[in-house]
């Protein structure tokens, strides 16, 4: 489906580079503020690949403000619980009651197919009058007296008072303006979204989000599209990656990584897509996202590992915060960008760091795995000390950012 709008005329207020979820969410948010926004997408058509995505209350709150939550709910699933199990023996370790979670934060926990969420924002942008342009590959960023300019692969240029680089993990803007590199975790993810009937004999929990955590691997399952589809994600440490080999994360490693897991997990592994896999990459946090009138956003600014399921959520929040600071009627972009950077950098640094630590916790082996299981089983189901800092209302200023949780040590306290 080619959903690009006609060729642009005039100079927009904002150019957004990248037509993914973060880019479209930002374009829609800024357009709601009365700004003229142009989106430049490198592909010939707008689209999104992948399978399921989880949207915590800090995101569904934003969707509700946008008037998009009801449509999102109609496209997705509202699970009842989030359950963590040991991948080896299948025993429950802890859970979140997601109905109680909704009462606490005021908005639901939603799971949705990534392409459905992308389509939701695409339709919203089109209806709001965003210029949606495809086959525009941005290869460089330049500063101007009144803003910023992007240079396209075909030699053309476009400029605006503000350029938002929402061009993903392998961002051209990040490479040019920061110059760092991605960080490999040595883990790889396989995904699959299959008809629900394909898994009904595997003792799956259709109404829950379930994550099985095991030594150097984890396995996530939940229903999609009103319960007619089932999403699975298998993540494991690649021995070939650890050994420094180029060809890592291959299907033979997938099978070996989950060979000793419980029946529910092992029965799900043959259903994984085997023609594609995703290396688990992030970047070290950086404190500077704003370079003149070019602002990094989403994975270009703060790509996390997936263990907290906050990657797309943070990108949507970025756009909401940026737009809330951009008052209609000719924003002071320097002030807007200073406010955006002041609040979002620290929050996203916390999420990136916690995602790394959370992944380490999930993948423990030996005595530390047993101690982790013991600590998790002792947790009260209604203890929200580990979620209040991230699932609450998105902060607009640094003073609104809540305090972090206090980590629980895995080593027993000496008597």
Please, what are the averages of pLDDT over each run of 10 residues along the chain (415 residues)? 49 97 98 97 88 97 98 98 98 97 98 97 98 98 97 97 98 98 96 96 95 98 97 97 93 97 97 95 97 98 96 98 89 97 98 96 96 95 94 97 82 51
Q: What is the pLDDT of residues 143-195, one digit of tens each?
A: 999 999 999 999 999 999 999 999 999 999 999 999 999 999 999 999 999 99
Instruction: Please answer whether residues 337 and 290 qualify as being in contact, where contact means their C-beta atoms are separated by less than 8 angstroms.
Output: yes
What pLDDT digit, counting tens, does each position of 372-382 carry? 999 999 999 99
pLDDT at 406: 79
For the CA atoms of 259, 264, 270, 271, what is the dihedral angle to 10 degrees?
Answer: -150
The per-residue pLDDT for 49 is 77
**Quick one: residue 158, left, alpha or beta (phi over 0 = left, psi -120 to 50 = alpha)?**
beta
Instruction: Return the closest-CA partner of residue 124 out of 298, 316, 303.
Output: 316
Burial class (CB in 10 A: 0-12, 13-18, 19+), 122: buried
pLDDT for res 328: 74
CA 315 to chain centre: 7
Angle between helices 21-32 and 311-325 (to 10 degrees): 20
Distance between CA atoms of 56 and 207, rounded to whole angstroms? 16
Annotated catalytic residues are: 222
Of 405, 409, 294, 410, the C-alpha closest to 351 is 405
**Contact status, residue 201 vs residue 75, Cβ threshold 8 Å:** no
Rounded Cα distance, 237 and 302, in Å? 22
How many other CB atoms sit within 10 Å of the CB of residue 399?
A: 7
Would the pTM of this model clear 0.75, i.e. be above it? Answer: yes
Q: Tell me how far apart the alpha carbons of residues 320 and 330 are, in angstroms, rounded to a whole number.
A: 18
Rounded Cα distance between 149 and 268, Å, is: 48
Question: What span, in angstroms and rounded, lies between the C-alpha atoms of 308 and 293?
Answer: 31
State the helix-helix crossing angle for 21-32 and 114-128, rounded to 10 degrees.
30
Q: What is the pLDDT of residue 411?
A: 62
């Amino acid at each position: 489906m080619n959903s690009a709008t006609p060729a642009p005329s005039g100079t927009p207020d904002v150019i957004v580079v990248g037509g993914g979820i973060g880019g479209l969410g930002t374009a829609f948010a800024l357009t709601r503020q009365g700004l003229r926004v142009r989106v430049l997408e490198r592909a010939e058509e707008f689209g999104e690949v992948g399978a399921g995505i989880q949207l915590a209350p800090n995101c569904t709150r934003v969707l509700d403000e946008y008037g998009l939550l009801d449509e999102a709910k109609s496209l997705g699933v509202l699970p009842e619980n989030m359950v963590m199990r040991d991948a080896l023996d299948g025993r429950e370790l802890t859970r979140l009651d997601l109905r109680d979670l909704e009462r606490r934060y005021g908005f639901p926990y939603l799971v949705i197919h990534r392409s459905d969420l992308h389509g939701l924002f695409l339709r919203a942008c089109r209806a709001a009058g965003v210029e949606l342009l495809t086959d525009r590959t941005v290869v460089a960023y330049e500063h101007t007296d009144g803003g910023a300019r992007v240079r396209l692969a075909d030699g053309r240029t476009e400029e605006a008072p503000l350029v938002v680089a929402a061009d993903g993990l392998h961002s051209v803007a990040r490479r040019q303006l920061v110059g760092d590199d991605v960080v490999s975790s040595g883990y790889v993810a396989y995904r699959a979204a299959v008809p629900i009937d394909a898994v009904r004999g595997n003792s799956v929990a259709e109404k829950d989000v379930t994550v099985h955590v095991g030594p150097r691997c984890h396995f996530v399952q939940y229903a999609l599209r009103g319960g007619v589809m089932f999403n699975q994600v298998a993540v494991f440490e690649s021995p070939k990656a650890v050994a420094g080999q180029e060809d890592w994360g291959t299907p033979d490693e997938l099978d070996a990584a989950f060979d000793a897991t419980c029946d529910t997990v092992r029965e799900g592994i043959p259903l994984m897509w085997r023609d594609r896999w995703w290396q688990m990459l992030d970047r070290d946090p950086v404190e500077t996202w704003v370079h003149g009138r070019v602002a990094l956003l989403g994975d270009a600014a703060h790509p996390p590992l997936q263990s907290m399921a906050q990657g797309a959520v943070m990108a949507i929040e970025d756009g909401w915060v940026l737009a809330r600071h951009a008052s209609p009627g000719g924003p002071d972009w320097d002030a807007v960008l200073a406010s955006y950077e002041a609040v979002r950098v620290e929050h996203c640094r916390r999420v990136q760091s916690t995602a790394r630590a959370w992944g380490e916790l999930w993948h423990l082996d030996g005595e530390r795995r047993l101690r982790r299981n013991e600590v998790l089983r002792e947790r009260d189901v209604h203890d929200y000390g580990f979620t209040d800092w991230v699932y609450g209302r998105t902060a607009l200023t640094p003073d609104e950012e809540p305090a972090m949780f206090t980590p629980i040590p895995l080593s027993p306290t000496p008597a």
